[in-house]
Amino acid sequence: MRVSVSNGAARAAACDDLCNVPCFKEDLVARLREELPQDDRLEEARVLFAALADRTRLKVLHALSGGEELCVCDVAHVLGMSVSAASHHLRKLRDLKILKYRNDGKMAYYSLRDRFAAELVQHALRQALP
């Protein structure tokens, strides 16, 4: 025999399955669950944070945070690495649409597409322990 469960009771049962503490704020929990971003949006955010979880890419964003445009060679010199290594990190940030670039002959110049990622890095650095 199947027993019909009210919507509120179903939510409470779902909460009970997740933990042993009763769900006290059923309406709030239901609203927050409905407001969770879709998995594809969460994946985009995860990829962004994975890209920013690299010290070299954080340095690149810090170097470009003043609004300057730098060529690949300049970035390599700032970071103390080879041009090919710098180019790899710049390309990763460009592919994620964090950076924009332009070619001038054989030279490639990079700058911030928008300030969000650089501001996120600056905020994280301010919050880091001294």
User: Radius of gyration of the chain from Cα atoms?
Assistant: 23
My answer on whether 55 and 110 are in the same domain is yes
CATH number of the domain that residue 104 is part of: 1.10.10.10
d(CA 46, CA 58): 16
Q: What is the pLDDT along the chain (130 residues), one digit of tens a residue?
A: 444 445 555 555 555 556 777 777 889 989 999 999 999 999 988 988 898 899 999 999 999 999 999 999 999 999 999 999 999 999 999 999 999 999 999 999 999 998 888 888 888 888 886 6
d(CA 61, CA 120): 10
Domain count, the chain: 2
Domain extent at residue 103: 42-127
My answer on whether 66 and 123 are in the same domain is yes
My answer on whether 24 and 55 are in the same domain is no
My answer on whether 58 and 6 are in the same domain is no
